Amino acid sequence: MPPPGVKARIDRFWRALKRISQIKARGLENFTSNEDLVDAGERNLQVAVEALIDVGEFLIARMNWRTPKSYRDIGVVLGEGKVLSSKELKLFEEAVKLRNVLIHNYVYMAAEEVYQSLERLETGLNNVMCTFLDFMEKQGLDP
């Protein structure tokens, strides 16, 4: 059974994804004109990606695979382990790059870009977490 921290991260991922869906439903115009929505969108996108990174690290450690050299490399290791498909790996890498921009270069990301990222990544983030959970189930790791 995964440590409670992993379960908490999975639960927080689902909350972040729900908030992303709610934020997107407000529409681009409402989003870009409301700083609170922009902040919430950025934060929940960051949290969702962080949760995927954390769960990915957990899987790698439990499977005794090589230690990733970077957050991006987590996806590569999971691809080598046949957890992620090439399409999911590409999305994981895109999400990690976006997370880095949100954390380190946030001043360069316009509200429109954040909204477009929410639209573009929501389904893919969901799919990657479902892939992780399916893998955990097949390996007997109870999330």
In the chain, domain spans = 4-138
Here the tokens at position 140 are: 């007997």
pLDDT of residue 108: 73
pLDDT of residue 143: 65
Question: What CATH number labels 4-138?
Answer: 1.20.120.580
Average pLDDT of the chain? 94
Here the tokens at position 80 are: 């080598």
pLDDT of residue 107: 72
d(CA 119, CA 113): 10
Q: Is the dihedral of CA 37, 43, 44, 49 positive or negative?
A: positive
Q: At what angle do helices 86-104 and 111-138 cross, to 10 degrees?
A: 130
The conformation of residue 105, written as its DSSP 8-state character, comes to S
74-131 pLDDT, tens digit per residue, is 999 999 999 999 999 999 999 999 999 998 877 778 999 999 999 999 999 999 999 9
Instruction: Tell me whether residue 143 is exposed, middle or buried, using C-beta atoms within 10 angstroms of its C-beta: 0 to 12, 13 to 18, 19 or more.
Output: middle
0.95 cut: is pTM over it? Answer: no
